[in-house]
Structure 1
């Protein structure tokens, strides 16, 4: 194509890139020659290789994709991230987490896949084998809702503060018997009430912070019920176990809206009124129209904005800059599922 236009290969490349010192007439001649030859432009892979980049951002989901994409939180954050990366000419490689503890903690894809930056979405811990693999490869990393560390970019939310505010809301309503339904503690994804010994094995930072928010408000939960995933059916199982007991709590705080909606469904099954007999609250601020007429009391987090903040951190790392850690605010949203404690 360059020969057809009577220019050098480098000049033809500049004409397609739209950059560099090249006359308008020369650019027009190159583009006309390309149209005549039906040439679409330089090979993107070749361009990326010349720049020493793959054009790919690896997104490590932290959970099996079949579970992750049933949770609107994941899809909304990814939507915000993709909207930011698209204009930068970057694509996304989704790396799933293990289905259960029997599978390797590190997907083999992480050891070999080309990626310019990695984003670790959930559950990060300081000794996380995924993060250690990325460090060993020298891959710049954005850690989402993990513990900020000097060598990784961090994007999070004030979930601990949000959970404390939510707990105080229930205390103001007169509740003293408050149980909590949590996200997974670790890769083992156990299910059931967690005793004091089990609480010492709480490894995932998101779960730890949200549980700490409850205790920050001065509440020791009557029961800490661990779930294996943030899914409605897991919340329903927890709700049945908690609410069928003779000394049931008057309020249940859940670490996600999907878990909370499951508890609401369990209360309905058991013939309990929400919130007259039991109050239920969640975290995320999702619009769950199918739960009508109930509207969850929840701590709303800015999901799309969080995705965009992750994308901005990715851009900074690509420019060779380490961005400052970002902690986005959350807000209590009172719905119909919390009310005064029953007498």
Structure 2
């Protein structure tokens, strides 16, 4: 006995015939690219529902366009830890907003090679890429993307001539918050930095180490503070995390005779860690120690305090990158955009004790 054949999947042509319109009109209803009358739209959607038609086959559409409909976003290190950074989440929200009109999906890739020594960026079926420039492997990822001839947008990294960038005023923002600390009267200031390079070594950021630094965000924010405090000591961390801030804070505060009266951290997570280290030692914030961060994200663990920080436009940064990718995939000219951070004074900074 012959097994019954599977029912034929309804096509767009079937829907058009059922609704009494042309196939091109039915296509317009589903694409939304051209307006049709409400009556026509209602008739086409009703026909689609009666036939069980759920919409055009995205795979077929991709094949017709010669595209995968996917944009790669290259994140630093292990993907399981990428979203522990509270800046990443709003940035990714903005990125997907920026790609919404394009109808593209997002593929998250790590910036390090796999077990076979080959980066997944070499073979991933993607139409374009967004690179986060604070990664130590940023240059290698950029070379892969350019070698494949893919459109690419870089967030906070120097990609060279012709590559659109989404940047922040890291230098000026860091100088502004350092100026706030100076105006409060602090002279003994220390800096807790983000990782400076691929080695991710903790410790004093000496001129020799700084000369080899590859993370542009770290260098820009450090230069901004040192515009105000040229001789401020800088301590590098392994990552932007509260735990790393605690470790750096303990190192800076363990010697009462050489203790700074203010610490400028390059992320809010690091700043919270410094505050916790200060509290371990019985220091009051801001009476005994002023602490400022950078990012303007919501971070728990500092009680009733509001962190003094620079608020970066994380959502706008991601959205701008997505919009520029969409422009390139539509055949339009993309552009670089420079965004501005906003100072927010909280309760964690005050005049030094005398």
State whether TM-score is above 0.5: yes
Residue 40 of structure 1, CA deviation:
2.2
The alignment's C-alpha RMSD in Å is 2.9
Q: How does 1:312-331 map to 2 (within 5 A)?
A: 312-331=323-342
User: Which residue, 222, 232, 238 being the options, matches 2:248?
Assistant: 238
Contact 1:95 1:107 in 2 (8 A): no
SS at match of 1:284: coil
Tell me: CA distance 1:114–1:66, structure 2 relative to 1, closer, same or farther (3 Å).
same
1:44 aligns with 2:54: no
Find the counterpart in structure 2 of residue 58 from structure 1. Answer: 72
Contact 1:106 1:129 in 2 (8 A): no
SS at match of 1:128: helix
1:172 aligns with 2:186: no
User: Which residue, 134, 141, 144 being the options, matches 2:155?
Assistant: 144
Contact 2:114 2:120 in 1 (8 A): no
CA offset digits 1:126-165 (Å, max 9, x no partner) = 9711101100011111100112532211101111100001
Find the counterpart in structure 1 of residue 312 from structure 2. Answer: 301
1:12 aligns with 2:23: yes
CA–CA distance in structure 2, aligned partners of residues 198 and 170 of structure 1: 26
Tell me: CA distance 1:229–1:107, structure 2 relative to 1, closer, same or farther (3 Å).
farther
Unaligned runs of 5+ in 2: 1-10
| More divergent stretch after superposition (238-247 vs 317-326) | 317-326
Residue 245 of structure 1, CA deviation:
2.2
Contact 2:132 2:138 in 1 (8 A): no
- How many aligned residue pairs are there? 336
Residue 112 of structure 1, CA deviation:
0.9
User: Which residue, 176, 187, 199 being the options, matches 2:198?
Assistant: 187
Contact 1:122 1:146 in 2 (8 A): yes
Residue 273 of structure 1, CA deviation:
1.0
Tell me: CA distance 1:182–1:26, structure 2 relative to 1, closer, same or farther (3 Å).
closer
1:254 aligns with 2:268: no
User: Which residue, 120, 141, 145 being the options, matches 1:130?
Assistant: 141
CA offset digits 1:163-199 (Å, max 9, x no partner) = 0011111111121111111111112211122222212
1:161 aligns with 2:167: no
Contact 2:91 2:315 in 1 (8 A): yes
Residue 55 of structure 1, CA deviation:
1.4
CA offset digits 1:70-89 (Å, max 9, x no partner) = 11100011111122323431
Unaligned runs of 5+ in 1: none
1:68 aligns with 2:82: yes
CA–CA distance in structure 2, aligned partners of residues 253 and 236 of structure 1: 14
**Normalized against structure 2, the TM-score is what?**
0.86
Contact 2:275 2:291 in 1 (8 A): yes
Find the counterpart in structure 1 of residue 104 from structure 2. Answer: 90
Contact 1:124 1:147 in 2 (8 A): no
SS at match of 1:72: coil
SS at match of 2:182: helix
Find the counterpart in structure 1 of residue 7 from structure 2. Answer: none
Contact 2:252 2:259 in 1 (8 A): yes
Tell me: CA distance 1:173–1:89, structure 2 relative to 1, closer, same or farther (3 Å).
same
Find the counterpart in structure 1 of residue 4 from structure 2. Answer: none
Find the counterpart in structure 1 of residue 223 from structure 2. Answer: 212
Find the counterpart in structure 2 of residue 112 from structure 1. Answer: 123
**Normalized against structure 1, the TM-score is what?**
0.88
